[in-house]
Amino acid sequence: MGNKWKEIWNRRKPAAGELDGDWQHVFLELKRLNGYDVMGDGIPLDAFLNFNAGLMEHLDLTEGKSVYEVGCGAGANMYLMQCEGMIVGGSDYAEGLVETAQRIVLEARELAVMEAADIPTEEKYDAVYSCGVFSYFPDHAYATRVLERMLEKSRYAVGITELHDRTKRQEYLSFRRANIPHYDERYEGLGRLFFRRSFFEEFAARHNLHLVFPSLELAEYWNNPFVFTAFMYRK
């Protein structure tokens, strides 16, 4: 992953006292740390909860099952899933965000700082997923290595959300340039990796996986028109 993005994520710290409130307050602060305060007036709690409910449904998660997140950031999703009675684990390359997650997700089976392509696979989980992280990878070869690790770590399901659609690249850039002054200068060296659905179709075919592209959107999120989601399952 690019060093500039890593520097940005490592600068994100919780505001004083923001991790001391009720679970809703803590969850929203963790989401803010994970980057959801960048554009717009903010996404309401219900939108996040509905998205997570859909995510858990597609990962076939219920109380007592185990789930691992690649690129967990400050641990918002892990925190919510732990509250729902699941066994959680995760990792992220941003040390500061992982330190925040370790303060909140106290019963994580695994929670460490590492690159996505280096996740250990000895410990298995019922499902392994990643939310909004693949677009920060340097290239598709790296993304393939991460998928290989995710599949090896999962007993059943692998999910990836917020994949930037290659066919929507120009629309995405036009939107960003229209909404962020001097976008190209501000985001120089901070690229996005775009994907075609065929990338996942070919991976699923090589590994004999059942693949679906469900409609799983975070309500009121500006990014929705430019992204898609992929879930793969062992047959």
Lowest mean pLDDT segment, chosen from 39-53, 93-107, 141-155, 192-206: 39-53
Q: Specify the CATH number for the domain of residue 119.
A: 3.40.50.150
pLDDT tens track for 54-109 = 999 999 999 999 999 999 999 999 999 999 999 999 999 999 999 999 999 999 99
Kindly tell me if the per-residue pLDDT of 1 is higher than 70: no
pTM of the model: 0.94
Which amino acid is present at 11? R
Q: 38 pLDDT band (50/70/90 cuts)?
A: very low
Query: What is the pLDDT at residue 12?
Result: 87
With 60 as the cut, is the pLDDT of residue 39 above it? no
Q: Can you tell me the mean pLDDT for 165-183?
A: 94
CB 231 within 8 A of CB 58: yes
* Cα(208)–Cα(162) distance, integer angstroms: 23
pLDDT for 2 equals: 47
Tokens encoding 192: 């996005």
Q: What is the pLDDT of residues 151-163, one digit of tens each?
A: 999 999 999 999 9
Task: Give the residue from 111, 157, 132 showing the smallest Cα distance to 31.
Answer: 132
In the chain, what percentage of residues exceed pLDDT 90? 80
DSSP string, 104-140: H-TT-SEEEE--GGG---SS-EEEEEEES-GGGSS-H
Q: Is the pLDDT of residue 37 over 70?
A: no
Q: Which domain holds residue 118?
A: 3-234
Domain count, the chain: 1
pLDDT tens-digit series, residues 176-198: 999 999 999 988 888 899 999 99
Does 44 score more than 70 pLDDT?
yes
The answer to whether residue 15 scores a pLDDT higher than 60 is yes
Task: Give me the pLDDT at residue 8, please.
Answer: 85
Task: Give the mean model confidence (pLDDT) for residues 126-130.
Answer: 98
Return the bridge partners of 154, or none.
125
Taking residues 6-26, report their average pLDDT. Answer: 86
